[in-house]
C-alpha cells in the first residue's frame, strides 16, 4: 500500500526540493509495487518496475538496484536521509549500508549522519530525535560487535568502498569478512544474513566496476539505491549510460529551476587570439579573471549588507597543465609583476604530489572567511566531495576538449552560497574565463548533447492544440454587470463559464455600468460610504441616481424615429448596489502617515573599504550565459571624466537612494565620498581612479549605501497614524499563464501535485473570481473548506491590499493567499509550509498583516461591521475534514 502520508511528512520536515520529493515519491511507488524482500524474483521485479519506469531496463546487479541521477547542487545527501527515514517509518526497515567512493566523502557522510551537526540529514524527523540511528563505520564496527551493537533498532553502516577495494586486491578478502567470535561469523556475513538490508551508494559512477563493488554484491540487500550526478561510466568508445536510471534530473533542469548558479563563459570584447603568444594570452586571462573576481567580491558584500546576510568571500580556481606549470603560476602570482604582489599571501597550490583527500581537506577551508586564500591553483579537475559554495571564477589554462572543460569545471562551482538564487546577476553567476576558447565552449554548450543544453521538445500535431495562453481571472461582479475585462479573446475560452449577466437589456446594462463607476468613485469618501453595504442606503441611491441620469445617453432612435423607453434607472441602480454587496468583500484602503515632521539621518562613521579593490579599467569583459545566451558586459572602455571632483561621482550615485536627502546630509555624503576617493588613490592614479568611479559609480554607491544602513537613526518619538482612504476597494483581476484547456474541478486533486502551479481551477460557487490557481495542494484543500463554510472568498491580486513588509533593506508588497467572509468576521488566511513558519520574511508578513487587520477592525467598528482576523496555517494542518473554526482556534 502507498505510504504517501509518510512522503508528505518527510518532505515537509526535511524541506525537500521538488526533485528530491519526486525521488521519494518514486521510491514510495516502487516499494508498493515491488515490496523490498530477500525472496524477490529479480526478473519479475524488473518487469514490474519497467512497466511504470521504462528507463529501468536492467538492475545491473544481483538485486533490485535503482539509480536516482540528480544534478550537482540539488542535494543528494539530504535525499539519502529522506530515503532512510521513509523506509524506516513506512516499511520498518532498520538496517542500511551506505557506501562512499573515497575518504573525503566517507568522512563527510559520517558528519552529516551524526546528530547535532550543521547539516544533519534527519533534522526534523521526530522519531529519530527520540531514538537516533546507531552509526557503524569502518573504524567502529568491530567495537560495536563487542558491545552488541547489532541489537540496536536502526543501524546505518557507512563504509569507504576505496578502502574495501584496496583490501581485496590480489583476490584477498576484505577485513570486514574476517571471522568475529563475538557474533560467530564475520561482520560481512552478519550483514548479509539480515532480512532488511538496504544498500545506498553515493556517487555510484565512481565504483561500478571495482573489485570492492563485486564483493559488496554478495551482501544481497533487499534494495539498492544509487545516487550520482553523472549516470554513466567512461568506456573505450565514450560514455556508457546506466541501465537502471529511474529518475533523471539533469543539470539543465537544475539551472532552469534555479537550484544552482548560471555558468557563463567570459572573454574580452572583440578579442582575437591571432598573433598573441600563449604567455600573453595566459597573462590576460589571469589578470582579467582577478579583475572579475574583485568586482564579484564587492557585489557579494553589497548584497550581504543590503539583505542582512552573511558576507561570502569568493575565490578563483586556476587550472594548470601540470605540476611544473602550477609552480610557475604560483611564482607569477606571488611576484610584483602580478597586481604588485597583492595576492602573494592569498594563493595556494594543490596538485597530485599531495593525496587527494588531503588536497580536498585543504580546499574545504577556503570557504571560511578567516582563511585569506582567494586564488587556488590546481592541476587536475576537482572531484566529488568538494562542496564549497564560494567558487565564482574559473580560469582554465590546460588543454581539454570543450565538453570536459564545461562538465568538470562547472560541476564544482555551481553550488549557491545562500541555497537559492538571489536575483542579483553577479551573485548567481559562475564565470569561466576562456578568452581563447570562447567560441568553442559556446558551440559545445549549444550542442543538443551538452549537459547544460535545455531539454528538447518535439511537438506533434496534438501538441499544437495545447498552446499556452494568458487567462485573466476576472471578478465575477464584472461579468455579471456585462463589463469588459482586460481578458483576451484567447484567454476567454480557458477562463471557465462566465456568471449569468444580471441585465440583458442593452440600455439597462448601460445604466448598470454608469452606476458601477459612480459607486467606485464614492468609495473614496469613507466617511460617507464606509462599507459596500452603504451603497443601498436611500441617500446614496439618490446621489447615484442624479449622477447616472446626467450621464445617460439613450440609444440611437430606431428607423421609425421612435425612441426606446428609458429603463427604470432607480431599479437598475438598486440591483447593481445589491450585486456589489453580494460579490465584494469590504477591503478598506489604509494609508500609514507620520504625525508631524519625521527626523532621521545617518551617524558619522568610517567605511570598511578593505573589500573594494577595482583595478584600472581596460577593455570590456563579456560573460555569455551558457544556458540562456544572455550576455553581461563587465567593465567599459576608458573615456573622459564627466564630474569636476572625484567625490561627485560617489555623491551623485548616493542621492539616487530615496532615504538620502542631499540638502540635510551633504557634509556627511562628501565625507564618505572622500574616504572612497582616498582609498582608491592609495593604489590608482587620479585618472584611473576617476575611470573606476565613472565605470562603477552605481556599484560603489550601493556598497557605501549598504554600510550607511548600519548607522541610520530615526527620531523614535515621531508617531504614525493610519488613515482609511476608502471604505472598500474594487476587486482586481489576476492574470495566469496556462494550457489552453478547461479548468480542473477544484474538488479533485491533480495527478501531478508537484506541478500544482501549472493547473487552472474552476467550478466554484462562492469564489469572487471566475478561475484561480493554487501553489500547493494544501491551498486547494483550503479552498474546498472555504466553499463549504464561508459566505464568499477570494485570492487577492497584487496591489489589492498595498501592505508592505521589510525584507533586508527592501520594502516588499505582501499579498495574502486568501480572504474570506463568514457570518461573523472577515478572514485573512496564509497557508505556509510547516518548515517555513519561523522564516524571517514569513514572520514579517504576519506582523504587518496583524497590524492591518487591527486597523481594518477599528474602521469596521465605526459602522457596526465585521472584525478582521488573521491566521498563519501550517500546510500539514489543512485537510478537507477540518472546519474553519478549528483552524482559527489553533492558528489565529
How do residues 722-744 score in pLDDT, each as one tens digit? 888 888 888 887 777 666 567 88
Q: Are residues 439 and 513 in the same domain?
A: no
Q: What is the DSSP string of 539-581?
A: HHHHHHHHHHHHH--PPPPPTTS-PPPPP-HHHHHHHHHHHHH
pLDDT at 557: 46
pLDDT in tens, 662-703: 777 888 999 999 999 999 999 998 888 988 888 788 889 989
CA dist 101 and 95 (Å) reads 20
Mean pLDDT of 539-567: 73
Q: Are residues 220 and 344 in the same domain?
A: no
Q: Are residues 164 and 271 in the same domain?
A: no
* Confidence band, pLDDT 50/70/90 cuts, at residue 299: confident
Q: Are residues 100 and 44 in the same domain?
A: yes
Q: Is residue 605 part of a domain?
A: no
CB 791 within 8 A of CB 766: yes
pLDDT at 252: 79
CB 848 within 8 A of CB 841: no
Number of domains in the chain: 4
- Could you list the residue range(s) of the whole structural domain that residue 75 is in? 4-232+244-249
Q: Is residue 313 part of a domain?
A: yes
Q: Is residue 493 part of a domain?
A: no
pTM above 0.85, yes or no: no
Q: Are residues 65 and 194 in the same domain?
A: yes
pLDDT at 755: 73
User: Where residue 818 sits, what CATH number does that domain have?
Assistant: 3.40.1350
Mean pLDDT of 153-174: 71
Query: Closest Cα partner for 20 from 92, 71, 79, 62?
Result: 79
Q: Are residues 508 and 438 in the same domain?
A: no
- Per-residue pLDDT at 618 exceeds 70: no
Q: Are residues 226 and 282 in the same domain?
A: no
Query: Closest Cα partner for 36 from 96, 82, 113?
Result: 96
Q: Is residue 459 part of a domain?
A: no
Q: Is residue 533 part of a domain?
A: yes
Q: Is residue 495 part of a domain?
A: no
* Confidence band, pLDDT 50/70/90 cuts, at residue 633: confident
What backbone phi and psi angles, to 5 degrees, belong to 478?
-65, -50
Q: Are residues 205 and 354 in the same domain?
A: no
Domain boundary among 219, 249, 279: 249
Share the mean pLDDT of the chain.
81
Collapse the DSSP code of 300 into the 3-class scheme (helix H, G, I; strand E, B; otherwise coil) and give the result: helix
Q: Is residue 752 part of a domain?
A: yes
Share of the chain above pLDDT 90, in %: 29
Q: Are residues 396 and 299 in the same domain?
A: yes
pLDDT at 353: 59
What backbone phi and psi angles, to 5 degrees, belong to 722?
-110, 150
Q: Is residue 142 part of a domain?
A: yes
User: Where residue 408 sits, what CATH number does that domain have?
Assistant: 3.40.50.300
Collapse the DSSP code of 293 into the 3-class scheme (helix H, G, I; strand E, B; otherwise coil) and give the result: helix
Q: Are residues 354 and 220 in the same domain?
A: no
Residue 741 corresponds to which cell in the numbers above? Answer: 484547456
Q: Are residues 263 and 227 in the same domain?
A: no
CA dist 534 and 537 (Å) reads 5
Q: Are residues 219 and 268 in the same domain?
A: no
Amino acid at each position: 500500500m502507498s505510504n504517501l502520508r509518510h512522503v508528505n511528512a518527510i518532505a515537509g520536515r526535511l524541506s525537500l526540493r521538488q526533485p528530491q520529493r519526486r525521488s521519494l515519491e518514486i521510491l514510495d511507488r516502487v516499494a508498493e509495487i515491488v515490496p523490498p524482500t530477500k525472496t524477490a524474483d529479480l526478473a519479475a521485479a524488473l518487469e514490474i518496475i519497467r512497466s511504470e519506469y521504462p528507463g529501468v531496463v536492467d538492475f545491473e546487479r544481483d538485486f533490485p538496484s535503482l539509480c536516482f541521477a540528480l544534478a550537482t547542487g540539488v542535494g543528494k545527501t539530504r535525499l539519502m536521509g529522506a530515503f532512510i527515514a521513509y523506509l524506516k517509518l513506512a516499511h520498518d526497515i532498520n538496517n542500511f549500508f551506505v557506501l562512499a567512493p573515497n575518504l573525503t566523502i566517507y568522512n563527510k557522510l559520517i558528519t552529516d549522519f551524526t546528530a547535532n551537526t550543521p547539516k544533519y540529514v534527519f533534522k526534523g524527523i521526530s522519531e529519530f530525535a527520540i531514538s537516533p540511528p546507531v552509526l557503524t563505520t569502518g573504524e567502529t564496527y568491530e567495537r560495536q560487535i563487542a558491545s552488541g551493537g547489532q541489537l540496536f533498532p536502526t543501524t546505518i553502516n557507512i563504509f569507504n568502498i576505496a578502502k574495501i577495494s584496496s583490501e581485496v586486491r590480489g583476490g584477498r578478502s576484505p577485513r570486514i569478512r574476517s571471522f568475529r567470535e563475538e557474533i560467530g561469523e564475520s561482520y560481512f556475513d552478519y550483514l548479509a544474513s539480515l532480512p532488511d538490508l538496504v544498500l545506498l551508494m553515493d556517487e555510484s559512477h565512481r565504483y561500478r566496476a571495482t573489485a570492492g563493488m563485486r564483493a559488496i554484491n554478495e551482501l544481497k540487500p533487499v534494495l539498492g539505491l544509487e545516487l550520482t550526478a553523472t549516470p554513466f561510466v567512461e568506456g573505450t568508445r565514450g560514455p556508457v549510460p546506466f541501465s537502471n536510471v529511474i529518475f533523471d534530473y539533469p543539470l539543465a533542469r537544475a539551472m532552469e529551476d534555479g537550484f544552482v548558479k548560471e555558468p557563463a563563459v567570459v572573454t574580452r570584447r572583440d578579442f582575437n587570439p591571432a598573433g598573441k603568444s600563449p604567455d600573453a594570452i595566459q597573462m590576460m586571462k589571469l589578470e582579467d579573471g582577478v579583475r572579475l573576481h574583485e568586482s564579484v567580491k564587492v557585489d557579494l558584500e553589497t548584497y550581504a549588507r543590503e539583505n542582512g546576510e552573511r558576507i561570502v568571500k569568493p575565490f578563483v580556481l586556476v587550472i594548470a597543465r601540470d605540476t611544473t606549470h602550477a609552480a610557475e603560476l604560483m611564482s607569477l602570482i606571488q611576484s610584483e609583476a602580478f597586481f604588485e604582489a597583492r595576492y602573494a599571501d592569498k594563493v595556494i597550490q594543490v596538485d597530485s604530489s599531495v593525496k587527494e583527500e588531503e588536497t580536498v581537506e585543504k580546499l574545504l577551508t577556503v570557504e571560511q572567511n578567516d582563511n585569506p586564500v582567494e586564488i587556488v591553483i590546481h592541476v587536475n579537475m576537482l572531484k566529488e566531495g568538494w562542496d564549497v559554495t564560494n567558487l565564482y571564477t574559473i580560469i582554465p589554462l590546460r588543454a581539454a576538449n570543450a565538453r570536459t572543460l564545461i562538465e568538470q569545471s562547472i560541476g564544482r562551482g555551481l553550488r549557491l552560497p545562500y541555497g537559492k538564487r538571489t536575483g542579483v546577476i553577479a551573485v548567481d553567476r559562475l564565470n569561466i574565463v576562456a578568452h581563447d576558447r570562447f567560441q568553442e565552449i559556446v558551440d559545445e554548450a549549444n550542442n543538443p548533447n551538452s549537459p547544460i543544453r535545455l531539454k528538447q521538445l518535439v511537438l506533434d500535431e496534438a501538441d499544437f492544440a495545447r498552446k499556452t495562453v494568458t487567462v485573466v481571472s476576472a471578478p465575477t461582479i464584472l461579468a455579471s454587470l456585462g463589463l469588459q475585462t482586460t481578458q483576451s479573446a484567447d484567454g476567454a475560452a480557458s477562463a471557465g463559464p462566465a456568471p449569468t449577466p444580471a441585465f440583458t437589456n442593452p440600455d439597462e446594462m448601460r445604466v448598470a455600468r454608469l452606476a458601477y463607476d459612480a459607486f467606485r468613485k464614492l468609495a473614496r469618501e469613507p466617511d460617507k460610504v464606509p462599507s459596500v453595504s452603504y451603497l443601498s442606503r436611500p441617500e446614496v441611491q439618490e446621489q447615484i441616481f442624479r449622477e447616472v441620469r446626467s450621464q445617460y445617453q439613450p440609444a440611437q432612435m430606431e428607423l421609425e424615429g421612435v425612441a426606446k423607453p428609458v429603463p427604470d434607472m432607480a431599479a437598475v441602480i438598486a440591483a447593481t448596489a445589491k450585486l456589489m454587496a453580494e460579490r465584494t468583500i469590504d477591503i478598506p484602503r489604509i494609508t500609514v502617515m507620520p504625525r508631524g515632521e519625521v527626523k532621521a539621518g545617518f551617524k558619522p562613521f568610517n567605511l570598511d573599504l578593505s573589500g573594494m579593490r577595482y583595478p584600472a579599467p581596460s577593455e570590456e569583459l563579456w560573460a555569455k550565459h551558457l544556458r540562456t545566451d544572455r550576455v553581461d558586459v563587465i567593465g567599459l572602455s576608458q573615456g573622459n571624466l564627466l564630474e569636476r571632483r572625484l567625490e561627485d561621482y560617489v555623491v551623485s550615485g548616493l542621492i539616487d537612494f530615496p532615504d538620502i536627502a542631499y540638502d540635510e546630509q551633504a557634509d556627511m555624503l562628501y565625507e564618505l565620498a572622500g574616504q572612497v576617493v582616498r582609498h582608491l588613490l592609495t593604489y590608482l592614479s587620479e585618472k584611473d581612479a576617476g575611470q573606476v568611479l565613472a565605470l562603477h559609480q552605481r556599484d560603489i554607491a550601493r556598497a557605501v549605501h549598504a554600510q550607511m544602513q548600519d548607522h541610520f537613526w530615526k527620531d523614535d518619538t515621531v508617531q504614525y497614524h493610519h488613515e482609511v482612504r476608502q471604505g472598500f476597494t474594487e476587486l482586481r483581476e489576476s492574470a495566469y499563464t496556462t494550457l489552453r484547456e478547461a479548468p480542473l474541478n477544484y474538488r479533485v486533486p491533480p495527478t501531478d501535485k508537484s506541478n500544482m502551479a501549472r493547473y487552472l481551477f474552476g467550478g466554484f460557487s462562492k469564489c469572487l473570481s471566475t478561475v484561480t490557481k493554487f501553489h500547493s495542494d494544501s491551498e486547494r484543500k483550503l479552498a474546498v473548506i472555504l466553499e463549504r463554510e464561508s459566505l464568499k472568498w477570494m485570492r487577492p491580486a497584487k496591489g489589492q491590499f498595498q501592505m508592505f513588509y521589510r525584507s533586508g533593506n527592501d520594502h516588499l508588497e505582501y499579498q495574502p493567499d486568501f480572504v474570506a467572509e463568514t457570518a461573523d468576521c472577515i478572514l485573512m488566511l496564509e497557508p505556509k509550509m510547516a518548515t517555513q513558519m519561523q522564516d524571517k520574511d514569513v514572520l514579517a508578513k504576519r506582523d504587518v498583516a496583524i497590524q492591518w487587520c487591527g486597523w481594518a477592525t477599528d474602521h469596521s467598528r465605526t459602522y457596526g461591521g465585521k472584525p478582521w482576523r488573521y491566521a498563519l496555517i501550517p500546510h500539514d494542518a489543512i485537510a478537507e475534514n477540518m472546519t474553519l473554526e478549528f483552524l482559527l482556534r489553533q492558528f489565529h
